[in-house]
Amino acid sequence: MGKEDLHKRLANGGTLVVAEGYLFEFERRGYLKAGTYVPEVVIEHPELVKQLHEEFVHAGSEVCLAFTYYAHREKMALIGREEELEKINRTALKIAREVANATGTLMAGNICNSTIYKADDPSTHAIVEGMFKEQVEWCVEEGADFIVAESYTDYGEAKLALEAIKKYGNGLPAVVTFWAAMTDETGDGIHLAEACKKIEDGGAAVVGLNCSRGPATMLPLLKEIKAACKGPVAALPVPYRTTKEEPTFFCVRAPGADVRAFPVDLPACLCGRSEIQYFAEACKEMGIQYVGICCGNSSHYLRIVADVYGKNPPAKRYAPEMSKHYIFGDKAKFTTYYTDKIKSHIAGTAE
Ligand SMILES: [Zn+2]
């Protein structure tokens, strides 16, 4: 693998399925804290991070994304572990590289929203550039195939990320994605289709959206981005039921509740697998070339995306086959005592 591989994979309409969502998954499992959201599990339990990469590849991910989301200087300082900044980055990159090598997948480094960038305060821009620089250099040294710069609200910060990858990334391709928010504009007031176009013109290999919006509210905007851009577009929604009134997972309310679900009640807002399938089919139809799921992702969702994109992942062997179920399955195979009587007993008339 090397720095030409992302381009090769996406040439002539090629596609890549990419698992994200490591942060939420480890929070859910009890290995990092909601609020600070620092991927401490990388240095506390590296074996678990390796295992999750392997599981996502099994489900169809073609990229091992190094788990350095929020492993930047600002967040490490927030939890008093700034001195372990380099260690956490290099460890995450090495784990991802190891799994990518063993599975024939690509390895991506990852930089993200700094949490301190302010559009109208140039002094923050210099600090943010320094944060990007050190992480990009570690990505290069640890053998990343490309670098993902993600979760930006502001065009200005995304541009700084792209510039840092161009300047310090030794020619590695950049995938740059934004959070789409309550409106279709960036935090600094540019329509996201325009922002993606500008980042593409600036030299990013892939541009698009990750996180923040669920499938239903990401799709319409993706169409606009696709129309504005010439090259590959990325789509990695959160698997939550966002709506026109509540377009992001930051604002959705759980059914029957009148308070924000983010983050602890988000499980009550999860999409069904059929909704993820519909999303993947719509993306494929639209020509989205870089596709996956962000925070809230699990292997059962990613397997569907991979399957729709024709990837035939190992986990497909265990895809649902309800015709073989003794109550809901093939009536010719099973006794009507179960397929009729017990079915009606436990499920009523639901088909
Ligand atoms: Zn996310």
Q: What is the pLDDT of residues 231-258, one digit of tens each?
A: 999 999 999 999 999 999 999 999 999 9
Which residues have C-beta within 8 Å of that of residue 57, sequence separation ≥ 6?
Answer: 19, 64, 99, 103, 105, 313
109 with 217, same domain?
yes
Q: Are residues 139 and 89 in the same domain?
A: yes
CA of 340 to the centre of ligand 1 (A): 43
Q: Which two tokens stand for residue 322?
A: 């309800």
Question: Counting Cβ atoms within 10 Å, is residue 335 exposed (0-12), middle (13-18) or buried (19+)?
Answer: exposed
- 259 shares a domain with 219: yes
Residues 128, 86 contacting (CB under 8 angstroms):
no
Instruction: Tell me which H or E stretch contains 208.
Output: strand 206-210
213 CA to centre of ligand 1 in angstroms: 9
Separation CA 272–CA 258 (nearest Å)? 22
**Residue 329 and residue 216 share a domain:** no
Angle at 207 between CA 180 and CA 229, to 5 degrees: 100
Distances (CA, A) of 249 to 211, 212, 242, 351: 8, 6, 6, 30
Is there a binding annotation on residue 295?
yes
- 30/158 same-domain check: yes
Q: Are residues 30 and 169 in the same domain?
A: yes
What residues in the chain have per-residue pLDDT under 70?
1
Same-domain status, 228 and 277: yes
Q: What's residue 4's pLDDT?
A: 87
Q: What pLDDT score was predicted for residue 20?
A: 98
224 with 331, same domain: the answer is: no
State in Å: Cα 334 to ligand 1 middle. Answer: 43
Q: What is the pLDDT at residue 286?
A: 98
Could you tell me the CATH number of the domain that includes residue 199? 3.20.20.330
* Same-domain check for residues 270 and 337: no
Both 60 and 193 in one domain: the answer is yes
56 and 104 part of one domain: yes
Is the CB of residue 286 less than 8 Å from the CB of residue 230? Answer: no
Cα(235)–Cα(291) distance, rounded to whole angstroms? 5
Query: Domain of 117?
Result: 5-320
* Alpha carbon of 297 to ligand 1 centroid (Å): 9
- How many angstroms separate the alpha carbon of residue 107 from the centre of ligand 1? 18
pLDDT of residue 1: 62
Q: Are residues 16 and 290 in contact, defined by beta-carbon separation less than 8 angstroms?
A: yes
Q: Is 283 annotated in some ligand binding site?
A: no
Q: Are both 262 and 350 inside the same structural domain?
A: no
How many domains does the chain divide into? Answer: 2
**Residue 196 counted as an annotated binding residue:** no
| pTM of structure | 0.97
Question: What confidence score (pLDDT) does residue 351 get?
Answer: 85
